[in-house]
A and B are shown apart, each in its own frame.
Chain A
Amino acid sequence: MIEIGYMELALGSLLLLVHGAVTLIYKAGSPFSLLIAGVRMAVQLSLMAYVLRFLFAADMPLWTLLAVLVMVAFAGYEVVARQTRPMEGWWGYGIATGSICMAAGIVTVFSLFVQLKPDPWYDARYTIPLLGMVLGNTMTGISIGLSTLANALKQNSDAIEARLALGHTRTQACQAVIRQSLHTGLIGIVNSMSAAGLVFIPGMMTGQLMAGADPIEAAKYQALIMFLIAGGTAIGTVSAVILGVYRLTDERHRLRLERLSIKM
C-alpha cells in the first residue's frame, strides 16, 4: 500500500478552496459550507483513527460498546440536524435514533453471526467499520425519508384533510405521501447498487483493491456490504417514515402538523 503524507493530504483539500473562491466571486451562497464540512470530516476521521487504534489494542467489549453507542447517538442527532422541519421536542431524535438502532442492530448482528463470524464476534476490527457503513447509509435514508415526509404532508395537507373528512383512515389518507417518502429515502441506495461495478467501484472495494486484495475477494466483500447497507437503509427508512406518520397524525385520525417545528 502506498502511504499518503500529510502534505499530500493538504494538497488534496485545495480543491475545496477553489470551490470557496468561485462561490465568493459569484455570490452563490456560503463559500464556507463545503470548507467547514471538509474540516469537520478531517478532524472526525483522525479522531476516529485514534479511537480505533485504541479499541483494536484494548480488545475490551465494553469500550467497543461505548463507541457503538456514541456513533448511534451522533447518527440520530445528524438526522434531526439535517431536517428543515424536525418534529417538536424529543420525538425527532427518538424516532430517528430508534429506527437507526433497530436497523443497524439487526443488520450488524446478522452479519457478524451469519456471514463474517469473527472471533470473538464483537471484534472491534469488524463491528465498528461494519456498523459505521450501515449507520452512514441508514442515517441518510432516514434523514431524506423524514424530510420528504414532513414536506409532502405539509404540501398535500389539503388533499389529506379532504380524504380524512370523507372517512378515510390516516394510513389511507397518507398513502401517497408514505410511498413518496420511502421512494425518495431509498433512491440513493438503489442508484448506487445499480451503478456499482458499471459506473464506479464502491469505496470499500476500492480500499481493498488499493490495499492489495484479490479483485474477486474484494467484489464478494463489497456485494455483501451492499446487501447489508441496503437492508439496513430499507428497515430504518420504513420504520422512521411509518413512525413519523403516526406521530404527525393522532389516534382520532387527524393531521397534526403543529407537531413539526419551524427551524430558522
Chain B
Amino acid sequence: MLMIENLEVKGISAQGLCLQAGDCVSLTAASGMGKSLFLKALADLLPNQGRLVLDGCERNDMAAPDWRRQITFVGAKPAWWEDRVVDHFNDLDWLRDILPLFDLDEKLIDAPVARLSTGESQRLALIRALEDVTEGRVRYLLLDEPTAALDQAHQIMVEEVLSSYLKAGLVAVLFVSHDERQVDRFAKRQWQIYNRRVSEVRS
C-alpha cells in the first residue's frame, strides 16, 4: 500500500490519501492546476516535501530509482532515448504477446521511434511501464493522460488491459483524464485538486 501521509509540491498539498493494489483512481482538475506536478512529485521526479510510505517503508529510506521502479510515472508526452523501439525493452517475447491487446502490430518492434504515430508512441510508452510487472511487487502506475491521443475504441482497449492487471492485483492506477466519460467508466475512486489541495471526491 502507498500512503500519502502528506505531500507538498509548489504550493499543492495532499494529506491522508492512499492507493493499494487493484485501485483505479482518477485525478481531475482544471488545466494548469498541477495534476502533472502532483504525479511527478509522487514519483519523486521533482523536489517536494512530505512523508510517503510504501508497504511500511518510508520514501526517504529508499533509493530513488528503487522507489520509481514501483511508483512509475508515465508522462503525457512519450519520450524515447534509443533509435528503435526494440532497444527500449528487455523481454521481447512478452512484448510480442502484449502488442495485439493494444491493437499494435508486431512489426513496430523493429520500427524506428521517429516513425511512430502519436497514438502508437503513447501506447508503447504505457507498455514500457508494464514490463517486468511481477507478483508480489505492486506497480503503482501514475498515468498522465494515458489515452489522450486515442479514439474511444482504443481507449477502451487500453482500459481493458489495465483492468486485467488491476484484477490480478499486480498494479494500482492513478490516472489524469479530461474525459468525463472515461472517468465514469474506468475509475473506481476519484481524486481532485481544488484550492491547491488534493482530496478524495466522496460520492
A: residues with CB less than 8 A from B are 156, 158-169, 176, 250-256
B: residues with CB less than 8 A from A are 43-47, 63-69, 72-75, 77-81, 125, 128-129
Q: Is the CB of A167 within 8 A of B65?
A: yes
Q: Is the CB of A161 within 8 A of B80?
A: no
Top-4 shortest CB links A-B: A167-B69, A158-B79, A162-B79, A159-B81
Measured between beta carbons, the chain A residues less than 8 angstroms from B67 are 167
Contact A169 B81, CB 8 Å, known A158-B75, A162-B75, A254-B45: no
Measured between beta carbons, the chain A residues less than 8 angstroms from B74 are 165
Q: Is the CB of B65 within 8 A of A169?
A: yes
Q: Is the CB of A165 within 8 A of B81?
A: no
A176: contacting residue among B47, B66, B81, B129, CB under 8 A: B81
Q: Is the CB of B46 within 8 A of A254?
A: yes
Measured between beta carbons, the chain A residues less than 8 angstroms from B43 are 165
Contact A166 B68, CB 8 Å, known A161-B45, A254-B46, A254-B47: yes
Measured between beta carbons, the chain A residues less than 8 angstroms from B79 are 158-159, 161-162
Measured between beta carbons, the chain B residues less than 8 angstroms from A159 are 79-81
Q: Is the CB of B73 within 8 A of A252?
A: no
Chain B's closest residue to A175 (CB) is B81
Q: Is the CB of B68 within 8 A of A165?
A: yes
Q: Is the CB of A162 within 8 A of B125?
A: yes
Q: Is the CB of A168 within 8 A of B75?
A: no
A167: contacting residue among B46, B47, B66, CB under 8 A: B66
Q: Determine how close the nearest CB of chain A comes to the CB of B83; give it in whole angstroms.
A: 11
A254: contacting residue among B44, B72, B78, B129, CB under 8 A: B44
Chain B's closest residue to A172 (CB) is B65
Question: How far apart sit A176 and B128, CA to CA, in the bound complex (Å)?
Answer: 20
